Structure 1
Amino acid sequence: MSLGQTHAGADRKWLDKVTTATMRSSAVYEMTSGDIGRTRSFVREFLATGQSMHAWTVSGRATDIAQLVVSELATNVCKYAPGPCLLDVESDGTMLSITMWDSGAVLPSPSPADPARVGQHGLELVLAVCQSFELRREAVGKRVSVQIALQDSVERPPSEEAAR
């Protein structure tokens, strides 16, 4: 039995407050190649903590997407802006916000469509799976912010229906 099923009344109000709590966390990396995996672990652990402490419902697909996105963002930092990087994550249990700051001045942009191109599809993937994407120049460097839904949509896009 879940906590929500065993308690009612005043206790239920407490549970509603707990499950809607916003959680934030940050980490700093030097952005060596080993740090890419550490960013994935950081996001995975953040979501697991939200599930255990705040009873968030996070789909396996959302966890996979969050790890893919942070990995792609971290890879871009390693390739184009080596040096310190700040990773901020925040969620209320519905949407996950990932923000990555680095010292590089060049803003990323998706490459034009080219079926013969090998690699350089990371930003295209990020744009395809995120609910929002924002680039912002800072006094030093840039900030990339994305949002990812933590639950799978009830309505699936036609391409997913056809794939079944």
Structure 2
Amino acid sequence: MRADHGLPVSARAMDVPQLVVSELVTNAPKYAPGPALLELRVAGARLEETVWDSGPSLPLARAAESGRVGQQGLEIVMAVAQSFAAHREPVGKRITAGIALSDDPDADPAIRRNRTAR
């Protein structure tokens, strides 16, 4: 992204998108009967990672449980993303996580606005 778009990308932002994609894409076949699509898009000073799958149920973050093993992917995504949205589509659902590309997410007004709206 640095070379293609001339955007400053922090060391943190080099690792976080991979984690988010891994969590979202891993969950798609667990909860949806059909195909899944991944879209990555640079929007201002952030990377938007969107996963569409054919399952109609929206994901729900679960309350912390001391004995729970696994099933914490959504909580991980929501903890590291500056924005998160899940929407039903005519077929399936679309989940989008926004990741700040710099270590100062407040530099992008769209990220600051989404973070306060959570």
- TM over 0.5, shorter chain: yes
More helix by share: 1
TM-score class, shorter: 0.7 to 0.9
117 and 106 in structure 1: CA distance in 2 versus 1, 3 angstrom threshold: same
Identity of aligned residues (%): 53
Residues 1:110 and 2:61 aligned together: yes
State the alpha-carbon separation in 2 of the partners of residues 79 and 59 from structure 1: 32
Asked if structure 1 preserves the Cα contact closer than 8 Å seen for 2:83 and 2:97, the reply is: yes
Displaced runs of 4 or more, over 3 A: none
Residues 1:153 and 2:93 aligned together: no
1:1-164 → structure 2 map (5 Å cutoff): 50-92=1-43, 94-153=45-104
TM-score, normalised with respect to structure 2: 0.82
TM-score, normalised with respect to structure 1: 0.60
Unaligned segments of structure 1, at least 5 residues: 1-49, 156-164
154 and 92 in structure 1: CA distance in 2 versus 1, 3 angstrom threshold: closer
State the alpha-carbon separation in 2 of the partners of residues 154 and 79 from structure 1: 32
88 and 154 in structure 1: CA distance in 2 versus 1, 3 angstrom threshold: closer
Greater RCO (Cα-Cα under 8 Å, separation 6 or more): 2
